[in-house]
Structure 1
Amino acid sequence: MADDAAVQVHSPWERYGWIVQSVWLVFLFFPISAFLGSDQHPISARVLGIGMVVVFAVVYTMGIRRLQRYSSLDPGAALTGPIHLVGLTLIALGTAPIIGSEVLTFLPFIVAFGMFALPLFWGVVTAAVAVVGSGIWAFLIAEGTGLWVIAFITLAVAVMTAGSRFLGEQGAHHDAMSRDLAVVEERERVARDVHDVLGHSLTVVTVKAELAERLLAIDPERARAELADIQILSRQALAEVRATVGGLRVANLSEELAAARGALAGAGIDPDVPTDSAVVDPRHRTVLAWVLREAVTNVVRHSDADACTVTLGPSRLTVADDGRGMEARPEGNGLRGLRERVTAAGGTLTIRTPEAGYGTVLEVRL
């Protein structure tokens, strides 16, 4: 039986990034050289000190690996960094009785680790304390020992790691916002497409059902034909809704022209609709197909018109009816969705009442 556990996919950096970061351990050469040069201590003490440097390197590497492995949602994430940081600090302090002021050579590693192991604020505080402390020790207490180089290295490491941490968090924040925006856009797309699909299909089904009801008594054969059409339209609408939710729905202008003629005729509106969509630029056909669908649906639902004319151009669509006009009604979700589609395609949508004072003209230019 297949394992139901989710398979986690790790990036190469997540797997092997600790190796790149551990390259900096080469600079532990400085404390090692301090132990080797500490002639005033017995060999056993120097060997012990070198062993502590090795332990420091192991704890540093393990800490990096665990920090990369943990997600911010994992229970151990909040404690892993501080625990390893405390361990590194104690190991470094343990070498002080042997190498004295040279213990400062561990600071760049502690600062770098702390910047990523702690929250950004506390990482900066830790780095600031380390930089100020190393500077005071190098320039005031241990003047002339050459430790000023370590103080400057500590400062450089603090600045670089703080900048890297800040940019990394900003990048993560940007990625999260991008994902949220993509989710919102997808929701709007699905809502817009479902509205267009259901609005048109249910309007046509309603018109045909009313027509079939009127024909039952006077023309049963025609009524049965209308009922058969209703079944076909219902199945098509169901398929379109499924395709829309799955992101597969693409409006076809030729099909929408044919559907527009049928919907208008079924509603008792004289249709003047082109039969050929070849005049339209192929780049604009999908957008204009959605516009045509919504516009014709509105004519059937609200216009109370006797005739409707559809005109096509290479980058233009006009739907004009002789009905009662907008009558100062606010735009509904359908028209708002059309504006969003047209604007996203770089076009404009206008709705006006002709000079005759009645009817509505909807025009889209891309």
Structure 2
Amino acid sequence: MGGVWLVFLAFPIAGVVDSGESRPRIIAGVALYVVFAGVYIRGFRAMSRAVSRADVVRRGVAHLVALTLICVMIHLLVGSASVGGGPYLVALAMFVLPMWAAVGVTVVVLLVTTWLTTVSSELADTWYLSGVVLLVAVVTAVVRTIERRGLLHDELAAELTVSAERDRLARDVHDVIGHTLTAMSLKADVAERLLDTDPERARQEIAEVGVLSRQALAEVRAAVGGIRSARLDDEIASAERVLASAGIAADMPKDLSVVDPRHRVVLAWVLREAVTNVVRHSDASVCRVVLGPASLTVEDDGRGPSGLREGNGLRGVRERVDAAGGALRVSDASPGTRLVVTL
């Protein structure tokens, strides 16, 4: 952005040529303005390569000092024609210095420019130079503010992305671990009860515990990798097995085609957590699941929602439903609890 102003160096260079000084001084003055332009461009490039805000300020101050010294040398050679460097000092200061320091540089340059254009007869027709300095200060300050706001927005967006990914991972791992560990615990209890009376059935239950543990490991890896998903038909079958292991009769829908394909993944996650909560907390004997095109109802005949607190599981369900633009409602089914999700 700062390089845009270089086109206006033609005016102070023309002032050097028309200054009436000796040829060597004019050549030296023009050469110094060329060096001035190079240092100015290098200052902005150095700023873009800085690794921190402190590095930007350090590099910027070094280049501002160099530009100021060049202006002093031009003034010693050709007099008031050096005033043309003022706007460039202001532009660089606005991008590299803290705002208070940049405003201070602007005030100093504005005062020097005003003084030179007032006391020098050669600059009598350039009264507008003070206005140019002020205009450059305002434009670069606005651009600086926009750029800083853009950087802040990008940083906040990155933080929100990380936070959203952390929440997603927490939900996925909770859903996977919570549901599968509940099923494993139930099957282990069944195997223990059947160990003496029905060893063959006990072995089957223990084998299923091994299958569930390997399945949980694969699902956790998938969740960490960000590719974990849920299939509604798989969750229906899993819910039937988990409820049966807990001794809860399951009334499950048979026709899944009524569900809008766009909502099946979200409803599958909700079903998994809802059934896990029924097994863990309801002390129910029956669990009924009803599916609609964009809805899911899970109802049990257990102890009801009195005193129910929204833990990580239910909170994760609510977050998933909210993200999908839906609504979650938990109510008393008299007896039992009714969870309804509408998308």
- TM-score above 0.5: yes
CA distance in 1, matches of 2:246, 2:100: 68
1:165 aligns to what? 144
1:262 pairs with one of 241, 244, 263: 241
Aligned partners of 2:25 and 2:78 also within 8 Å? no
CA distance in 1, matches of 2:191, 2:254: 26
Aligned partners of 2:252 and 2:288 also within 8 Å? yes
1:70 aligns to what? 50
2:163 pairs with one of 181, 184, 205: 184
Q: Which runs of 5+ in 1 are unaligned?
A: 1-19
2:232 aligns to what? 253
How far has the Cα of 1:154 moved from its partner?
Answer: 1.3
CA distance in 2, matches of 1:152, 1:251: 66
Report the AA paired with residue 79 of structure 1: R
Report the AA paired with residue 364 of structure 1: V
How far has the Cα of 1:136 moved from its partner?
Answer: 4.5
Aligned partners of 2:90 and 2:133 also within 8 Å? yes
How far has the Cα of 1:185 moved from its partner?
Answer: 1.2
How far has the Cα of 1:290 moved from its partner?
Answer: 0.7
CA distance in 2, matches of 1:51, 1:172: 38
Report the AA paired with residue 26 of structure 1: V
2:335 aligns to what? 358
Determine if the alignment matches structure 1 residue 38 to structure 2 residue 16: no
Question: Which string of whole-angstrom CA distances, capped at 9 and with x for unpartnered residues, describes residues 98-120 of structure 1?
Answer: 33222211111111111112122
2:278 aligns to what? 299
Report the AA paired with residue 38 of structure 1: S
* 1:15-54 pair list within 5 angstroms: 21-22=2-3, 24-39=5-20, 41-54=21-34
Report the AA paired with residue 317 of structure 2: L
* 1:305-316 pair list within 5 angstroms: 305-316=284-295
1:154 aligns to what? 133
TM-score by length of 2: 0.95
CA distance in 2, matches of 1:328, 1:218: 39
CA distance in 1, matches of 2:17, 2:308: 89
What percent identity do the matched residue pairs reach? 50
Greater fraction of residues in helix:
2
Aligned partners of 2:74 and 2:82 also within 8 Å? yes
How far has the Cα of 1:318 moved from its partner?
Answer: 0.6
Question: Which string of whole-angstrom CA distances, capped at 9 and with x for unpartnered residues, describes residues 198-228 of structure 1?
Answer: 0000000000000011111111111111111
How far has the Cα of 1:294 moved from its partner?
Answer: 0.5
Determine if the alignment matches structure 1 residue 271 to structure 2 residue 250: yes
CA distance in 2, matches of 1:267, 1:23: 74
Aligned partners of 2:191 and 2:206 also within 8 Å? yes
How far has the Cα of 1:263 moved from its partner?
Answer: 0.5
**1:95 aligned counterpart, secondary structure:** helix
1:240 aligns to what? 219
CA distance in 2, matches of 1:208, 1:173: 52
How far has the Cα of 1:190 moved from its partner?
Answer: 0.8
Aligned partners of 2:74 and 2:81 also within 8 Å? no
**2:113 aligned counterpart, secondary structure:** helix
Determine if the alignment matches structure 1 residue 106 to structure 2 residue 85: yes
Aligned partners of 1:216 and 1:223 also within 8 Å? yes
CA distance in 1, matches of 2:323, 2:269: 13
Q: Indicate the larger mover: 180-189 or 99-108.
A: 99-108
Q: CA RMSD in A?
A: 1.7
Q: 1:343 to 1:22 in 2, by over 3 A?
A: closer
CA distance in 2, matches of 1:361, 1:351: 6
Aligned length: 342
2:119 aligns to what? 141
Aligned partners of 2:188 and 2:206 also within 8 Å? yes
Report the AA paired with residue 70 of structure 1: A
How far has the Cα of 1:131 moved from its partner?
Answer: 2.6
How far has the Cα of 1:239 moved from its partner?
Answer: 0.6
Q: Indicate the larger mover: 289-298 or 148-157.
A: 148-157
Report the AA paired with residue 72 of structure 2: L
Report the AA paired with residue 162 of structure 2: V
Aligned partners of 2:194 and 2:201 also within 8 Å? yes
Report the AA paired with residue 38 of structure 2: V
Report the AA paired with residue 43 of structure 2: G
1:226 aligns to what? 205
TM-score by length of 1: 0.89
Q: Which runs of 5+ in 2 are unaligned?
A: none
CA distance in 2, matches of 1:310, 1:328: 23
Aligned partners of 1:35 and 1:98 also within 8 Å? no
CA distance in 2, matches of 1:201, 1:314: 27
CA distance in 1, matches of 2:302, 2:76: 97
